[in-house]
Amino acid sequence: MTDTFRPRMARYVCYGLAILLIAATAVLFSVSPSFGMYAWGTIDYIGTLLLLAFFLWLLWIQVQVRVEVREEGIYIKNLIYSHTLDWAEIVGVDFGEGPWVRVDTSEGHVINVMAIQSADGEYARREAVRLATLIDRMQSR
């Protein structure tokens, strides 16, 4: 059993930006001058494609944000860091005043869960309750 939690609005924004970046690059290539003093050379096209690839990679990292509830614990994938926690390590889950759900650990650390974001509104509140319920259920086994 694996339940996965993902942000909704952030993914939609990333997909939209990816489409916009690709379309803008295509338009830029179609209108770039091919002659004269400002003519684009091979290096210009390669540089633009590398820049596009870099921005698409950043968007892909954001799309990968998630929480997976597994039999052995939870896996939290944020933008930069990933955490794997056993059930015994989890003390509590709360939404608090910040933009993300937080998981309190037995070591006294607080881990932000970027997969459940307040920007998602009511959907985020339902997902926070669902995550807390799943954690309670798995810990009581």
> Domain range for residue 84?
1-140
Q: What is the pLDDT of residues 91-139, one digit of tens each?
A: 988 887 789 999 999 999 999 999 999 888 899 999 999 998 988 888 8
pLDDT (0 to 100) of residue 37: 78
* Rounded-to-10 torsion of CA 78, 81, 83, 89: -100
The domain total for the chain is 1
Q: What is the pLDDT of residues 49-77, one digit of tens each?
A: 999 999 999 999 999 999 999 988 999 99
Beta bridge partners, 90, equal 105
- Give the mean model confidence (pLDDT) for residues 3-25: 95
Which distant-in-sequence residues (6+ apart) come within 8 Å of 13 by Cβ? Answer: none
pTM: 0.82
